[in-house]
Structure 1
Amino acid sequence: MTRIQANLVLLLAAAIWGGGFVAQSTAMDTIGPFWFVGLRFAIAAIAVLPFAAMESRKMGSAPSRGEFKAFALVGVALFLGAITQQIGLLTTSVTNSSFLTALYVIFVPVIAVIIYRRNPHWVVWPGALMMLTGIFLLSGGAIASLTTGDMLSITCAVFWALQITLAGRFVMQSNRPLALSCTQFSICAALSMVFGAMVEPLSFTAISSSIGEILYVGLVSSGLAFVLQVIGQRYTTAPQAAIFLSSEALFGAFFAAIFLQETIQTAGYIGCAIIFAAILLVELVPELSRKRNNALSAKT
C-alpha cells in the first residue's frame, strides 16, 4: 500500500467516525455512556476476532506477551478517549464535540516529539494549524464559553492523540493490525462495562431502543473504521494520520446538519475549504519533496 492509498484509507475512517458522532448522540437518549461504549466495543471485538485469528495463523504464531501488553496499553488510551467523548456528548453539541475532539491534530505531533524525539515533516505544522482553523470556522467560530461537555471533549482529544501515536508505533513493530484492534477493543469494552456495572442501570428496553446506534458504531464506526486506522497507519506517519483522521469533524458537522438539523453557517463552508486544502498540503508536499530528492539523487 502506498502512502497516498494509506491516507485515503484514513480519510474513509474519518468519514465513518463523522457519522458515528450522530449515532453516539442519539443513543444517549436511552442508554448510559459507559454501557454504550462497552457494548459498541464488545461488538467490534467479536467482529474482528475471526480475522485476528486468521492473521495469527498466517504469521505462524500468536502475539507475544509483550505485544499483548503493548496492545492493551492502546486499549486503555482508547477507553479514556472514547468514554470522555461519550460523556461529553451529554452536554455539548455534535458540532462542538467534533471540533474539540479534533484538537488531537495538534496534540499528536507534540506527543510524538515528547515520547519518541521524532520531528515530523515541516508541512505537518502549518497543515495542523490550517486544519484547526478550518474546524474552528466549521463550528461557527463562536464558542463563547466552554461547557463540561466541551472540557471533556478537549480531554478526550489528548487521549485520542495518545491512542493514535501508540497504535502507529505498535502496529509497525508487530505488523499485527487486526490483533492490535481486537485487543484494544476488548480492553476498552471490559473497562467500560466494569464502570457501567458500578454507576449505570441497564435494561433490555434501553438496549433495544438504541440497538441501531450500537450496531452502527460497533460494527462500522468501531470495528471497520478503527481497523482501517491501524492498517493505514502502517504506511504513513502518526502526525500525517492525525491530519486526515481529524477531518471527521467535517463529516460530523455534515451529518449533524442532515440528521440533527444542526446548521452550518457561512464561516463553516470556508472552514471546509481550509480543511481540504490542509489535507492536500500534507498529502502533496511530502510526495513532491520525495520525488524531487529522488530525482536529485539519481542525477548525482
Structure 2
Amino acid sequence: MNLTSSRWAELSLVVVTMIWGGTFLIVQTAVHTAGPLAFVGTRFAIAALIAAALSRRHLRGFTALELGAGLAIGACIFAGYSLQTLGLQYITSSKSAFITAFYVPTVPLLQWLFQRQQPHVAALVGSAMSFIGLACLAGPEGMRGGFGHGEMLTALGALAISAEIILIGRYASRVNVARVTVVQLAVAALLAFIAMPVAGESLPGLAPLFFLCALALGMASAAIQYVMNWAQRQVSATKATLIYAGEPVWAGVFGLLAGEHIPALAVLGAAMIIAASIIGEWRKA
C-alpha cells in the first residue's frame, strides 16, 4: 500500500460521509411531495438498476447463499430507510442524522446478544453515552420519558441498520459482493412498493422534485457501495468507522445552511453520540 492510494481512499470515504450527511435534507424535501414508502421504493429501484448495469458481467452464477444474504440484508435496508424516512416527517434532518449515528455503538451489543461475541469495554461505554445523547437530542420531554414519535421511528431504523451491518459482516467473505448488492437493493425497493398499498400510498403523478431527489439518491446509493468496497481494501475498519462518525456533523452543517435551528442541548447530545461512535470502535493497536 503506498501513501498516495491510502490518502485517496480516506478522502473518498470523507466524500461518502459528506454525501450521507446531505441525504437527510434531500429525503426530507422529497417526502413533502409523496409518501415515504414511495420515495424509498423509487430510490432503491433506481439504485438497483444502476448497480445491475455496473455489475452486469458478474450477474451470472447466483448461489442460494447469495440470494439468501441479499434477501436478509435487503429487508434490513427496507426497514432501516423506511423508518428513517417516516421519522423525517416529524423531526429535522440534522436530528435524524444524529439519532441514526446510534447504530455504530449498537452493533457490538447486538453481536454480543445474537452471536455471543463479547464486546470490548469501550463499546459498552459508547452505548451508554449514546443513550444519554439520544435523551439530549429529544430535549427535556425526551429526558422525562416522552420520547417523540419521530425520534422513536428513527431509533428503530438505526437498529435495523445495525442488523444490516452485522449481516454484511457475516456474509461478505463468502459471497460475490456485486451480486449481493444488486439483490439487496432490489429487495429493499420491492418491499417498499409492496408496503405502499398497506400504508395507503401511491406513486405521485407528475412530480419533478420527487423524481429528481429519488434519482440523485438512487445514483448516490449505488455509487457509495462501490466506493466503500474499494476504499476499505486500503483503510482499516476502525479508521473507516471514525470517518463515518462525521456523518451527523455534515448533516448538521447542511441543516444549518438550510435554516434549521439546533438547540444547545441537541448540540450536546450530538457531540455525545459522535464521541460514542468513536469510543465504541476504539481498539488498542
Q: Is the TM-score greater than 0.5?
A: yes
| 1:17 aligned to which of 20, 26, 31 | 20
Q: How many residues align?
A: 276
Q: Which residue pairs with 1:225 in the alignment?
A: 224
Q: Contact between 1:20 and 1:216, CA under 8 Å: does it hold in 2?
A: no
How far 1:26 moved relative to its partner? Answer: 0.7
Change in Cα spacing, 1:216 to 1:140, as seen in structure 2 (3 Å) is: same
Distance 1:271 1:17 in 2: 20
Q: Which residue pairs with 1:179 in the alignment?
A: 179
Q: Which residue pairs with 2:80 in the alignment?
A: 81
Distance 1:233 1:166 in 2: 17
Q: Which residue pairs with 1:196 in the alignment?
A: 196
Q: Contact between 1:131 and 1:243, CA under 8 Å: does it hold in 2?
A: no
Report percent identity of matched pairs.
Answer: 28
**Paired amino acid for 2:167:** L
Q: Which residue pairs with 1:32 in the alignment?
A: 35
SS at match of 2:29: helix
Distance 2:236 2:74 in 1: 21
Cα RMSD of the aligned pairs, angstroms, is 3.4
Q: Contact between 2:98 and 2:270, CA under 8 Å: does it hold in 1?
A: no
How far 1:253 moved relative to its partner? Answer: 1.9
SS at match of 1:202: coil
How far 1:53 moved relative to its partner? Answer: 2.8
Q: Which residue pairs with 1:146 in the alignment?
A: 147
Q: Contact between 2:105 and 2:276, CA under 8 Å: does it hold in 1?
A: no
> Is 2:95 the partner of 1:107?
no
TM normalised by structure 1 equals 0.76
Distance 2:239 2:135 in 1: 19
Q: Which residue pairs with 1:293 in the alignment?
A: none
Q: Contact between 1:181 and 1:230, CA under 8 Å: does it hold in 2?
A: no
Distance 1:226 1:146 in 2: 33
Distance 2:177 2:246 in 1: 22
| 1:264 aligned to which of 262, 265, 269 | 262
**Paired amino acid for 1:191:** L
Q: Contact between 1:247 and 1:275, CA under 8 Å: does it hold in 2?
A: no
Q: Contact between 2:36 and 2:85, CA under 8 Å: does it hold in 1?
A: yes
How far 1:202 moved relative to its partner? Answer: 2.3
TM normalised by structure 2 equals 0.80
Change in Cα spacing, 1:177 to 1:204, as seen in structure 2 (3 Å) is: same
